[in-house]
Structure 1
């Protein structure tokens, strides 16, 4: 965007929960009567203040509230959706995998009369900082992945269709609040690429009438640092270049820049946010490696269209690791900016 430096360094959305805040959330769940609304709001606002300081201290050009109000990147949204009931999980113990995530079943037509809660998140963020931000919102297909249709909807696409107007209304509400950068989180599309025209139509209707710069984040899943699908973007090309969004956010670091050459197939009107640090790895990439990865990206796409991010959100990454990775991401970007005359 015009107010940003060349090759902005930013985040995908989530940040590591501070340890004290994670303990607080667990205690609230176990003993809710111990905390009043003011106590919960104070803790939440303090947590946002901490992660804002982490991100600004790392030198990031565009930050978020760290998704401190959310459970995972999308699970907290189901608390706002009416017409569903929880399904008991079959497996609670053992190595983490996606079958341990919360699941729901439709019992009546879906609705979200209170919205999805992101407007309140943005307002809280703005009480603390006027830094450039983006607001991530899970897309309808991804949200539908945890909802069985029951006797209300025939299949996942039926659930998705019911969620399209809910997500569209949320995006419009955020734009009306002054959010100029929205991110549609749709990792499920990267894992289910078999209906491209249906997918493109779904994206177009989800963002219709939304007055903002819109990025679409497509990773391969990061629940407990586990991917959920075949990690290839090839099946999404060339049709993904016709998506009605301004930017695609894609992961490359964990795949050692595999398929980075696909960026050359995108139209010049499409920006890209490239993931150049691996959120699943506790090893902190040196700034020089981030710079080398970025230079490889720039052989396929012009610098004016590129932003640099982690592969995914940092919610599954230890805080000290996330902070170190963000700092080196910023420094790697600055090394390249200086080398091509883009300043610091």
Structure 2
């Protein structure tokens, strides 16, 4: 059903006062060379943990000021203290450990460095180091909204190996995982967080035949796994405070400007758009790998915000603004324009290696998002 024939008809829709914002970002940013060098120096024993953290603090402060300068309302720490977007958080949960895997994660024509996580004890959330990371960001955000990004609970199931004897049933495992996330969400809230994002690549398993092979490896049917993923997320966020915005970013992989998965949202659309109790969804739509906007017809809730990732973070060239506006107009045939926003399709550095563009190009991309959004939602 066409809800808006053109963007001008709804230009009276003002900028949102609550996240996700009309011009938003996924989270990660290219690591400055100073941080990369400091991490190498720390590993070599040249500088201390305290000296590394001070350098991180200074570079995060600089980055936050730059985010404010380009016009973003939500600011992040760029995930500057992390090597990975997911492992760093997950292996600091109680009962989870990181380890040196035999091989890395295979992307299109490139492989990550080896890393893995395993569940060695009962999962819980107690004294997590990223709480202090958030507090620092919150302290420098000022009037802007500090956005915290963590991996979805599904990522522990998707990437983690459970050692024999730790859990007697899948139900017990998923219960403990959801309870740990409930504690995490409350802890970040108590630290001041009002904008939390769950990053999730597991949904991409439903988008292609290659992904269906992964589903079979889990010993599940697609229907069973979709329900498991949705139930885990919904249980994790069920008791969140009313003034906490929880969004989810669904990704097909982002490592050195390449990807792991392809295919449209169709095979999981009903679950994603009408089965997840999040406040907003950040969705990849930057190229043909993501399919069309038709699956958005499953968006039934008028309060669900859809953030269109139409600007790529993988390459530095700026998209034609008119092309982006036309694509927003196409999406508005399925979801009211008042429920749409704009962002890059992913972060700029899901791992510390980063995508293949310069910092200057990164900031121009984010500025581009802001300018286009300001034109669309006047």
- Short-chain TM bin: 0.7 to 0.9
Distance 1:275 1:158 in 2: 36
Per the TM alignment, residue 5 of structure 1 is displaced from its structure 2 partner at its CA by: 9.6
SS in 1 for 2:283: strand
Deviation sequence 1:106-153 (CA, Å, 0-9, x none): 3333344313x3321221012222212321121111133332112124
1:140 maps to what in 2? 153
Determine helix, strand or coil for the equivalent of 1:201. Answer: helix
**Structure 1 residues 61 and 87: CA distance shift in structure 2, 3 A:** closer
CA contact (8 A) 1:252 1:275 kept: yes
2:277 to 239, 244, 255: 244
Q: Is the 8 A contact 2:280 2:305 kept in 1?
A: yes
Partners of 2:28 and 2:173 in 1: how far apart? 26
Deviation at 1:48, TM superposition (A): 0.8
2:75 pairs with 60, 63, 69, which one?
63
1:6-45 mapped onto 2 (5 Å cutoff) = 8-31=22-45, 34-45=46-57
1:292-342: per-residue Cα shift (whole Å, max 9, x none)?
Answer: 3323322322222112111111113332221121111111112223xxxx2
Paired residue for 1:108?
Answer: 121
User: CA distance change for structure 1 residues 91 and 239 in 2, over 3 Å: closer, same or farther?
Assistant: closer
- Contact 2:296-2:334 at 8 Å conserved across structures: yes
Other-structure match for 2:360: 320
TM-score, normalised on structure 2?
0.79
Say whether residues 1:75 and 2:87 are aligned partners.
yes
Contact 1:294 1:333 in 2 (8 A): no
Q: Which residue of 2 aligns with 1:269?
A: 303
Pair 1:213–1:6, CA change in 2 (3 A): closer
User: 1:256: how far off?
Assistant: 7.2
In 1, are the aligned partners of 2:341 and 2:373 still within 8 Å (CA)? no
Distance 1:81 1:14 in 2: 21
Query: Residue in 2 aligned with 1:198?
Result: 228
RMSD (Å), alpha carbons: 2.8
Summarize deviations over 1:152-199 as a string: whole Å, max 9, x none: 247988755542222221111112233222111122123247222222
5+ residue gaps, structure 1, are none
8 Å CA contact retained: 1:138, 1:184: yes
With over 3 angstroms needed to count, the CA separation of the structure-2 counterparts of 1:320 and 1:250, relative to structure 1, is: same
Give structure 2 stretches of 5+ with no counterpart. 1-14, 208-221
Runs of 4+ more than 6 Å apart: 154-158
The CA distance in 1 between the partners of 2:83 and 2:318, in whole Å, is 25
Structure with larger RCO (C-alpha < 8 A, sep 6+):
2
Q: How does 1:1-344 map to 2 (within 5 A)?
A: 3-4=17-18, 8-31=22-45, 34-91=46-103, 96-97=110-111, 100-115=113-128, 117-130=129-142, 131-151=144-164, 152-153=166-167, 160-192=174-206, 194=222, 195-211=225-241, 212-240=244-272, 241-255=274-288, 258-267=291-300, 268-315=302-349, 316-317=354-355, 318=357, 319-337=359-377, 342=378
CA distance in 1, matches of 2:122, 2:54: 35
- Whether the 8 Å contact between 1:290 and 1:333 is mirrored in structure 2 is no
Instruction: Classify 1:25/1:155 alpha carbon distance in 2 versus 1 (closer, same or farther; 3 Å).
Output: farther
Q: Secondary structure at the match of 2:263?
A: coil
Return closer, same or farther for 1:91/1:184 CA change in 2, 3 Å cut-off.
closer
Q: How many residues align?
A: 334
